[in-house]
A and B are shown apart, each in its own frame.
Chain A
Amino acid sequence: MTPDIIADNGYVIIVVNSIEYRQAQCCAYSINSKMPTSNITLVVPDADTVDEKYLEGFNAVVQLPFKQHTNRRQNDWQLYWCSPYTNTIAIDCKSLVKDDQTSMWDYLIDHCSIAFPTSVNDIRQHQIKTKHQHHLENEYNLEVVYSGMFFFKKDAESLKHFKMADVYFQNWNQVYSEFLKAQHIPDFFEADVLHTLVANHIDADVTTYHNVLSYVDMRNSVTVGVLGKIKNWTDSLTVWSSDTGKIKIQNYAINGTIYYHENEFLTDEIFSEQESYYYNVTK
């Protein structure tokens, strides 16, 4: 089931529907614009039906090896078996990378088998304390991880995580009921909560020095903290973009990785500006 290894290091991005194909492509453009020699693989339910227009920016396309869950993040557990890289960063398709991550790669390869961010930030780069983080830490004494971007090697240590994730992600409803009190059970599948439960239950060290995988999490930015409680952040916050690939939200420049969550963020204008910057840098 495991595909051939095509490179030492690379990114994988899972998509399951047409909106996500476009988002993943934009994410790939953003990665290539900052690191033009990057390897990026698109992970899809069916490799034969991918529209070719979405393949620009990717080095490879692989298929989910076991099952196709309609929630893309419920497929995270299969990444170990479908990544064509020895060292992989999995990144959510609703993300853009706005910095050169070469030194982060070096650190992760040297120090970690599997690593997740232990906190995320708002646009001011202030750490966000989410409601679920508060509950999981205080009520269950769990070390919370976030999963918009995470790293793993193909080794025994990370395999433990993915084997446990196989069970937990496919039976997430029962896992919630088993380990969480009714008042703390999320309404939907939450990859961050599931990865937190898996990481804590296998007792693996998945943290990094200086939390190098941390990113700007826009959904959580507007559910806690000074930005206020807004349902869709794209309704209230102003986005400024340019064909030099820059993104500013509310006057704040985004210089790391942003996990934007909302489909409305990726307008045709922003997509074409990211695309144009990618072509300028790489072609």
Chain B
Amino acid sequence: MKYKEKQGVCFFVYNNNQLDYVELLMLAARYVKEYLKLPVCMITDDGTYNWMLETQSESDIDAYIDYIKITQDQFKDNPRTHKDSPWAEFTAQFQNSNKHKIWEYSPFEQTLLMDTDYIVKNDFLLHSFNKTGVSMYNNALSARNDTPHNNEVLLYPSGIKMWWSTVVYFDRSNVSKMFFDLWNHVADNYEFYQFLYNFPGGLFRTDYCVSIAVHILNGMEESTIIDNFDNVPMYYLSQDDDIIDVNNKQDWICLGCDQKENWKNLLIKHSNLDLHVMNKRALLRMQDKIKEAFNDS
């Protein structure tokens, strides 16, 4: 099969009534262009695409988005409760049940699929293009350097290890194809696998789908068929954390919330490392400052 480009980055972008994923994409794509220098593909629906045309300038769209793929997928009802610090929460539809279709949608031979709240601040992920198969993170550290809650390390106590679908690198090898077929199978039989693997119910999480797909691909053992980005952890700001200032495009000042005593925060300067900003509203609050930082540089 002929692909449009050798390497590139894809984002799924489906707006809901609470979060403007187009704005998140425009921020994430800026960082991709700056540090990875790769083409960006936006995978979206008609509504979100029209919203982008209304709200974003043509020059920005041209500068940061290289390919647009409009999908017609039907999504499962998947309400997700988001937090914006420990003191505010809201519920929004989370449209992620077609994420495994990236195999079909990506115009690239080698693809980095990223969530729009994943901010690239260095070129580390470029190393993955030298690999064959699939790479994902399977360990994470908060910006405070704390390990995540147990239910984000294992699917449940004494269960299998959790892999994050936040960033997925893949090529067009048979292993990759098998991985996405399995992801599709687990997503299609989510309730059965929930019973089998005992992960928390309620929200449809692609992290659980990929964790089970990896486990099955590994022959129900812990093995290394799927790469974990050389065991480098994924740094994240949790939904309880916040961004309070943007010094420049690299240096962000954040508040890291103490998970046990959530009224206590640690002031953190975050720079040079990629960051998964789970508190999306925190990122959106800083969008002007981030754009300004790019204009200044």
A residues with CB within 8 A of B: 124-126, 226-228, 236-237, 248, 250-253, 255
Contacts and interface: CB of A to CB of B under 8 A. Distances in A.
Given A125-B222, A250-B160, 10 more contacts: A124-B221, A125-B221, A126-B222, A226-B154, A237-B158, A251-B196, A251-B215, A251-B220, A252-B220, A255-B219
Contact of B160 (A126, A236, A252, A255): A252
Contacts of B157: 226-228
B159 interface: yes
B192 interface: no
29 contacts: A124-B161, A124-B221, A125-B221, A125-B222, A126-B222, A226-B154, A226-B157, A227-B158, A228-B157, A228-B158, A236-B158, A237-B158, A248-B220, A250-B158, A250-B159, A250-B160, A251-B159, A251-B160, A251-B196, A251-B215, A251-B220, A252-B160, A252-B220, A252-B222, A253-B219, A253-B220, A253-B221, A255-B219, A255-B221
B197 interface: yes
Contacts of B222: 124-126, 252
Contacts of B221: 124-125, 252-253, 255
B151 to A, nearest CB: 12
A200 to B, nearest CB: 32
A211 to B, nearest CB: 17
A255 B222 CA distance: 11
Interface residues of B, number: 13
Contact of B197 (A251, A253, A255): A251
Nearest to B160: A251
Contacts of B160: 250-252
A226 B220 contact: no
Highest count of chain A CB atoms <10 Å: which of B154, B158, B159, B220: B158
B276 to A, nearest CB: 23
A252 to B, nearest CB: 6
Interface in B135-182: 154, 157-161
B219 A226 contact: no
A238 to B, nearest CB: 8
A234 B154 CA distance: 20
Nearest to A236: B158
Contacts of A253: 219-221
Nearest to B196: A251
User: Which 10 residue pairs are nearest across A and B when measured between Cβ atoms?
Assistant: A253-B220, A227-B158, A124-B222, A250-B158, A251-B160, A253-B221, A125-B222, A251-B197, A228-B157, A252-B220
Interface string B182-216: 00000000000000110000000000000000010
A228 B160 CA distance: 14
B79 to A, nearest CB: 28
Nearest to B153: A226
A59 B190 CA distance: 48
B197 to A, nearest CB: 6
B260 to A, nearest CB: 20
Contacts of A226: 154, 157-158
A93 B259 CA distance: 46
